[in-house]
Structures are given as C-alpha cells and as structure tokens.
Amino acid sequence: MNTVIIAALCTVGVGLFVGIFLGAAGIIFKVKTDEREEKVLAALPGNNCGGCGYPGCSGLAAAIVKGKAPVNGCPVGGNESASKIAEIMGTEGASSERQVAFVACQGKCDKAAINYEYTGPVDCRMMGFAPGGGPKACREGCLGGGTCVSVCPFDAIHIVDGVALVDKEKCKACGKCIQACPRKLIRLVPYNEGYVVACSSHDRGPDVIKACSAGCIGCGICARNCPAGAATVTDNLASIDRERCVSCGVCAEKCPKKVIIKK
C-alpha cells in the first residue's frame, strides 16, 4: 500500500515540477510581438496566396508592422484592406489601382496552326519539352496546358478554345499564374486598361502568318495611324504606351490581324 502511495506522490510531484518548469520557461522565453501585428493580420483577406511576395498573410502582417512593406502590400485585399491597415498603423491609406492578369495570346484552336497531335501530360511545363516546344506552330504562344489554371486560388483563369482566358472580375492579381506560365505570356494590367496587344510573338510577319492567323505581323499600321503616338512596333511586335493612349480605338480598328483589343 505504501508503495502505491509513494508512486502516486512521485507522479504528482513530477507533474507539478514539469508544469512549473514549462510555465516559467514560457514566461522567460516568451517572444514579444507587436499587438498591431494581429490586428493587421485580421484585416488581411487570409488567402495566403503569396502574391505580396511574403510567406502568407502572417508574413506580410509582420513586414507591415516592421515598416518593411507598405500598408497596401496585399493585391488581393486591395484598397479596402489597405484602408483598415492604414488606420491600425496610424498612417494615411495609400490607394492603388486595381490590377488583373492578362494573357497576351489569341492563338485559339481555329487560329493557331498545329504541327502534330500531342499525347502526354496536359501541363504546359511538360508540353514545352515535346518536339518543337509543343504541338502549336507558334513557339511564343499559349500552349493551352492549363498550368496557370491549376495554380490560381480564385478560379479566375480557364482554358477556352486552347488559350488561357482570365475572368477579370474574379482575378485578384496574386501573380501565381504569372509565375507558373513557362512562356511568360501573362502579365498584370490595370483593371480599366484601354487597348492591349494580345500577342507575344517576335517572329517576322511571314513566319507569324504560317503559325497563327491571330498574331502580330509587325506591319506598323497601328503606329502610323495612332494620333497620340502611343502605338509602336519593336522587334516585330506592337505595343501600346498606356500613358499616351487616349483609348480612341484607331489602332484596333486599323490592325489587319485584329491583334489589338479592348481590355
């Protein structure tokens, strides 16, 4: 009987010692955190998409409190989150223009020439290793494998007729599709962007025509007709300077291949 009592007392004693030790260690080694960090974290959307460049929302919250990131550093939360965070930090809110992803390619199934029938993993990163860099004749266009679709956390991008298409209403500009695209066809543009060039090919006109009927041939008609001097052609590919563009639509109207579109 005495043995049982002694064992019980030892167990209680050890448990009490461990409890006191852990409690003391928690107090001694406690890492002090700024209470604003929790408030900032609560003001963020919580998607943990990494679009801000930090490891999740907690990483961005810590960076904002330490002054290493701006209050509008979250592309998903936009101005709403930025305003709340600015109030928490006691600073003025920095408004930012809403951005959305844009795929610079129109090489759909009825437009792009196909060199062969592809059989294999339906993933752009894998398709790029196939002969000729993929089944499509254009080596700078969308492969249509859907790698961007698989990484989008907001269901904002889908493959439509062989080309990735972004739903601008769902897009939060997290940038995951941009990082995933092996051909770097996706970029961020303002939500209210005027006219954009929906092509990424730098090939000469005759080569573009053979590969895709919806590609820029670098003819320069857009540049010659743009009244604001916003359209230019560099390395066989047209581009629009949004700072100069007045959204008159002349470039889109004159483009013989209809490569310039209203965003």
Report how far apart the first and last C-alpha atoms of the chain are (Å, whole number). 86
- Mind listing the pLDDT tens digit for each residue in 44-96? 888 888 888 888 898 888 888 888 888 888 888 888 888 888 888 888 766 67
Rounded-to-integer distance, Cα 44 and Cα 21, Å: 37
pLDDT in tens, 212-257: 999 999 999 999 999 999 999 999 999 999 999 999 999 999 999 9
Domain covering 35-89 in this structure, CATH number: 1.10.15.40
In this prediction, residue 17 carries a pLDDT of: 63
Question: Beta-carbon neighbour count of residue 7 at 10 Å?
Answer: 10
The tens digit of pLDDT for each residue in 28-40 reads: 655 556 788 888 8
- In single-letter form, the type of residue at position 41 comes to L
Beta-bridge partners for 234? 237
Would you identify the CATH topology of the domain 98-192? Alpha-Beta Plaits (3.30.70)
Q: Where are the domains of the chain?
A: 35-89, 98-192, 193-263
The answer to whether residue 19 scores a pLDDT higher than 70 is: no
Kindly state the average pLDDT of the residues 122-138. Answer: 93
Q: What is the model's pLDDT at position 188?
A: 94
Fold of 193-263: Alpha-Beta Plaits (3.30.70)
CB 141 within 8 A of CB 185: yes
Does residue 57 contact residue 44 with C-beta atoms inside 8 Å?
A: yes
* Common-topology check for domains 35-89 and 98-192: no
Rounded mean pLDDT, 22-27: 61
The proportion of the chain whose per-residue pLDDT surpasses 90, expressed as a percent, equals: 60
Model pTM score: 0.76
In the predicted model, is pLDDT for residue 198 greater than 90? Answer: yes
